[in-house]
Each structure stands twice: as C-alpha cells, then as structure tokens.
Amino acid sequence: MRLGSVEYEKKGRIAFITLDEPTKLNALSAGVRQGVSESLAAIDADDEVRVGVITGRGDKAFCVGADISGFPVTAEQAHTFIANVLPFLAQPERCRKPLIAAVNGMAYGGGFELAISCDFIIASERAKFGVPEIQLGLLPGFAVVRLHDIVGRPKAKELSILGEPIDAAEACRLGIALRTVPHEKLIEEATALAEKIASKPRMAVEMAKSFYNRGLGGDEMRYAADAFPFLFLTEDVREGVAAFREKRKPRFK
C-alpha cells in the first residue's frame, strides 16, 4: 500500500515501512513525512500488528535528512518548520508498538534522528550515521536533546560540533545500533528480531516501551522548538546552505 512516498506492507504481525524516494536518497520530503506519519498511525491502530520495521529503498541511503531546498527564509517560516519537524521525528517514540530501524545506508541528519527515535537499530555493515547540520551553520534539533542519553555528553557534543559521520561498527560500539549485520541479510535480521518481539506478551511489551520512554518529549523539546528557529536566520546558515548547493566549502564568519 502506498502512503505518500512510503510503501506500507503488513506481513502477519509485522508492518514494514519503506521510505521510497531513492533518487533523492530518501530525504525527508513532504511525501516521506506524510507516509511515515500515516504508517505509524496505521501500526498503532491495527491490533494485529505487534512490531514495525522502518527501512529505506535502495542500497545507498536509509534517509539523508531534510531536503534543504525547502528550508525556511523568514523567522515565521523557521518557527513553523521546526514546530512541524520535531513532533514528526518524535513520532516513533510515541507509537505504542516497538519499532526497528533497519538502516541500509546513510542515516544523516533527520534520517539519523528518525532512526534513534525507534526502539532498536539494526545496521547494515554499509550504514553510515551522522548529524552534519553544523556544515550548514545549524544543529540537529532532535538529536541535540536525545543523543547524549545514548552516547554520553562528550561524544554527543563531538558528533554534533564536528558533524563527521561514523560507520556501523562505531555506531554499534557507542550503543546507537543494537548490532551490525551483512548488508544482504539486513531485512532478514530485522524481521527475525521483530518476530521474537511479536512472540512476547503484547501488553507487557507495550508497557516496557512506555516505561523506558517515560519523560521523553518534555521541556527540552519545547525549548528546542522555541530556540532553534533563530539559527536559521544567521548569516552562517545562508552561507552554509549556499555552499552546499554550490558544492563548495562554506566560509563561515
């Protein structure tokens, strides 16, 4: 079933969500965001579905984050953009059912954030993870309030301030990914984990997710939604976006 730019498929007790804009490296277009949101709502509403698996179409990318062609240019647009994007990225956390991100390639920016919002990450050995927003004069709006709980504050600062990607093995070592698997076995391994979870008592599994996720989405998310729009208005962001589009090194002031 096609939902926006996403393929949604049920196989028994497991639902598969496939981001399906491979020519754009599955960037978070309006169609992808719509499809993911509708798919997660469908998972929550379907009593037959016990677990969801999210992956990307193609061998290159899980999701490379925001489509910068749609970046805001005014304060009002920036506030609206952040107010829409942050709840979307947190939606996997709010889904009652466990979610597995099967990361098949690059997971950058919002794609990385979508993955860490899921309960588990199974990474292809080809996967790359990163929050490169600093190259645009920005910071990762969702990861900046989540990443330090996963990797610790110093490493979260390093990843966010340098913006350099890490490979699947390092992501696994840091606790970002649950395990790394051969690329051709990614969906098989993610499905096997999903089947194991689906075999457990449904209410206990859902309560475990709820308990471990308690407290997420509080004041820190509201602060991010209020504070981050101002970064979009700096001269460095205009330079960073221009340099990205022109495929050159930015000259930040």
The yes-or-no answer on residue 133 being catalytic is: yes
Is residue 89 predicted with pLDDT exceeding 70?
yes
Share of the chain above pLDDT 90, in %: 75
In-domain check, residue 86 = yes
With cut-offs at 50, 70 and 90, classify the pLDDT of residue 114. Answer: very high
In-domain check, residue 101 = yes
Number of domains forming the structure of the chain: 1
**pLDDT the model gives residue 195:** 98
In-domain check, residue 168 = yes
**pLDDT the model gives residue 218:** 64
**Rounded Cα–Cα distance for residues 91 and 82 (Å):** 14
The mean predicted confidence, pLDDT, of the chain is: 93
In-domain check, residue 221 = no
The yes-or-no answer on residue 195 being catalytic is: no
Active-site hit among 113, 170, 189, 206: 113
CATH of the domain at 116: 3.90.226.10
Q: Which residue has the higher pLDDT, 78 or 201?
A: 201
Domain span holding position 124:
2-183
Q: What is the pTM of this model?
A: 0.94
In-domain check, residue 43 = yes
In-domain check, residue 55 = yes
Active-site hit among 133, 184, 188, 195: 133
